[in-house]
Amino acid sequence: MRKILITGGAGFIGYHLAQHLLQNSDVELVLVDNLRRGRIDADFQNVLDNPRVKFLALDLTKPDSYEKLGSGYNHVYHLAAVNGTKLFYEMPHEVLRVNTLSLIYMLEWFREKNKEGKFCFTSSNEAYAGGLNAFNQLPIPTPEKVPLVIHDTHNPRWSYAATKLVGELFVINYAKMHNFKALIVRPHNFYGPRAGYKGHVIPDFSERIMARADPFPIYGADDTRTFCYIGDAVRAMSMLMDSKKTDSQPIETVHIGDALEITMKELAERMFDVVDWRPKKLDIQNGPIGSVKRRLADTSKLRAFVEWTPEVSLDEGLRITHDWYMAHPDPA
């Protein structure tokens, strides 16, 4: 039986990763969450009802929490972090404190109690996206080995990116100095059911569609992104962790994302087509200050390491996601 730990287990990625891993009958999971943002809803309760799952409600910014984790994990996925663009602006000090402290304590616990396992850190494309704003010379598609740039330390948006930049440094150097296996993945706009409500573009669009907002607001209409359906994303994560190709030193950093680059206006139009409704007028507005104009990841390393391709098209993923939000309106 393989033993796997997921921090942030009640969150968006953690929940879907747990679902995916439980498809293998030889896996038992320990899920950790402080339930500050993640929640025990009906979907997550279904995961907890599996006898191969144990849940621990812990605050990973407190050192004594780690006494309850035990040891003997084959894989550790460290997903716990304060995320969500809205929160970067509202509580940047907490983004910095929680994300950095929890990673430091996790790495200290891992090197002392679980050194024979393999550690996965979820970074973010935010860690390098500031390069385009700052120098206007970020290569597109963007490979993993671009400089990591914080565009403006006074703009609270970059609080999250800063924790991921320094987080990559922590993981790289802890793994090297303490000789354990580790992997860094950089998610590129994962989306799907249960992705949260405020501050995420696809849930925001779904909410406006359900409210029949007309004019329909679109912020940063010409900004481009790629969107990777969460089922495809967690499959890529687990395949990378299982691969011997990601066991070596220096540790690997790998992008996970789709290849379809699309503007926010085009994304809205795709959603209108999927739900068979469209407003009479669009309300085009500027994106938030610091918002990155263009993102397109080079995923050739991912495809070289594992035989992964996305299985869910954007239209299908948008339909599944919108249907979920229709059935699960914002409890607030």
* Stretch among 98-102, 155-159, 298-302 having the lowest mean pLDDT: 155-159
**Beta-bridge partner residues of 120:** 77, 183
Q: What is the pLDDT of residues 103-130, one digit of tens each?
A: 999 999 999 999 999 999 999 988 887 7
pLDDT for the residue 93? 96
Domain boundaries, the chain: 2-193+227-258+298-311
**Planar angle of CA 280, 282, 283, nearest 5 degrees:** 135
pLDDT for the residue 115? 95
pTM metric for this prediction: 0.95
Higher pLDDT, 8 or 139: 8
Average pLDDT of every residue of the chain: 94
Q: Write the DSSP assignment of 127-189 as a string of letters.
A: HHHHHHHHHS---SSBPTTSPP--S-TTSTTHHHHHHHHHHHHHHHHHHHHHT-EEEEEEE--
Average pLDDT rounded to a whole number, residues 181-206: 93
Closest CA to 201 of 284, 268, 272: 268
pLDDT for the residue 86? 80
84 and 109 Cβ atoms separated by less than 8 Å: no
Per-residue exposure over 193-224, b if at least 16 CB sit within 10 Å of its own CB, e if not = bbbbbebbbbbbbbebbeeeeeebebebbebb
Q: Is 11 exposed, middle or buried (0-12, 13-18, 19+ CB in 10 A)?
A: buried
Q: Which residues contact 41 (CB under 8 A, 6 or more apart)?
A: 194, 328
pLDDT of residue 152 exceeding 80? yes
Q: What is the pLDDT of residues 280-311, one digit of tens each?
A: 999 999 987 767 788 899 999 999 999 999 99
Q: What share of the chain is helix, strand, coil (3-state, %, to 5)?
A: 40, 15, 40
pLDDT for the residue 85? 77
Classified by CATH at the fold level, domain 2-193+227-258+298-311 comes out as Rossmann fold (3.40.50)
pLDDT for the residue 87? 84
Q: Is 332 exposed, middle or buried (0-12, 13-18, 19+ CB in 10 A)?
A: exposed
What are phi and psi for residue 225, nearest 5 degrees?
A: -145, 165
Going across the sheet that includes 2-7, the strands are: 53-57, 27-33, 2-7, 75-78, 118-122, 181-187, 252-256
Distance CA 329, CA 103 (A): 32
Distance CA 88, CA 39 (A): 20
